[in-house]
Amino acid sequence: MDFDAFHHQRPHIADNIMTEWESLQEWLTPDVSVTRYARLLAINSSELEEVFLLGGDSLPRIVRVGFFSGAIDRVSHGPPGGSLSIIEILKDMNRCLSYLSGTVLPANALTQENIRTLHGELMKSSQIGYTHLDGEEVAYLNTIGAYRRRLVTTDLTSPDAPEDEPAKIVQYARYQEIEHHMENFLAMANRQLAGAQLKRGDPTAFALAAWIHYNLAIIHPFTDGNGRVIRVIASLPLLKAGFPPINIRHREKPKYLNALNTAAQTFDLGPLANLIASEMRESIRYLRSIPPPSPDDSQWKTNIHDGETRIVL
């Protein structure tokens, strides 16, 4: 649906976010600030989708030193490959963000090829996915960098719902129509991005990000990785306005899903735009709480081979 069909208020904290973001860059330098934000996002975005869940001091260590398995303190939940697989997943997200800022951002238009490439970078280490069926973990093959070729649904039924309450099943666009839906969406998105002429700190970027997110979410173009790649793509107007990309923590998942549902039911992008803004501010403040780089960081810059099979001769 077109941007003008939605109610879209501007987050009142947008000015404060830009001030805090610029202050962080002055303190850490722009390069360190951007690098640390990307590391934080890589972790939070995968945890939001429960690709893995880290514990202990894993988060601050990885944010400080980078993608080393030695920086992982504890894995509460994760892929069969262990810490090394998690590190590869994080590196994939980092490449995805680099492609967005280095290739997509400077261009005048977002293309289907851009979107497929972003997904291919994001999912490079996730060609085998896992789902639970009748209490067992079942592996399946992901198609990366290509639109899905099957029906995808999401069950939003609460585990506490009464047995006689109808299930809440979301069915996304039919896979036969994805190419057509994406063509229409990109025509609208490129028109809106060009017409907005976003300046640095423009709060309209948050409403546009929410609108892009909502439209891609209802199409759900890929078999897996939709949430992560959609948040990356929806970050484009924010980057154009000088803000960092979308980052939402696992603890805010109920608010996140409710905001998307509100957009679907009432055509109001306000809750989603406000959540994106408030979570961006929390991300910046979290980074502010982590000390600058120091020689002590080197103790975590190791890779532990905890997920490899070896043949001993």
Residue 160 lies in a domain: no
- pLDDT digits 0-9 by tens, 138-188: 777 788 999 998 887 777 666 677 877 776 667 788 889 999 999 999 999
CA torsion angle 86 42 29 285 (round to 10): -120
Which whole-number Å values give the CA distances from 71 to 131, 155, 283, in the listed order? Answer: 27, 35, 20
Q: Has residue 282 been placed in a domain?
A: yes
- Stretch 287-296: mean pLDDT: 89
Q: Does 226 carry a binding-site annotation? A: yes
| CA nearest neighbour of 234 among 67, 45, 59, 70 | 45
- 103 part of a folded domain: yes
CA distance 282 to 286: 6
Task: Judge whether 299 lies within some domain.
Answer: no
Tell me if 4 is assigned to a ligand binding site.
no
Task: Look up the domain containing 72 and give its range.
Answer: 3-153+167-294
Quote the pTM value. Answer: 0.91
Of the candidates 289, 283, 279, 206, the one whose C-alpha atom is nearest the C-alpha of residue 242 is 206
At 214, which CATH number? 1.10.3290.10
Domain membership of residue 311 (yes or no) is no
The single residue of 132, 220, 250, 305 carrying the catalytic annotation is 220
Average pLDDT over residues 23-46: 98
For the chain, what is the radius of gyration of the CA atoms?
Answer: 20
**220 classed as catalytic:** yes
In a domain, 158, yes or no: no
In a domain, 303, yes or no: no
232 vs 52: CA distance, rounded Å: 18
169 known ligand binder: no
Instruction: Answer yes or no: is 297 a known binding residue.
Output: no
CA distance 250 to 308: 28
Number of domains in the chain: 1
pLDDT in tens, 197-211: 999 999 999 999 999
Judge whether 161 lies within some domain: no
Question: Would the annotation count 116 as a binding residue?
Answer: no
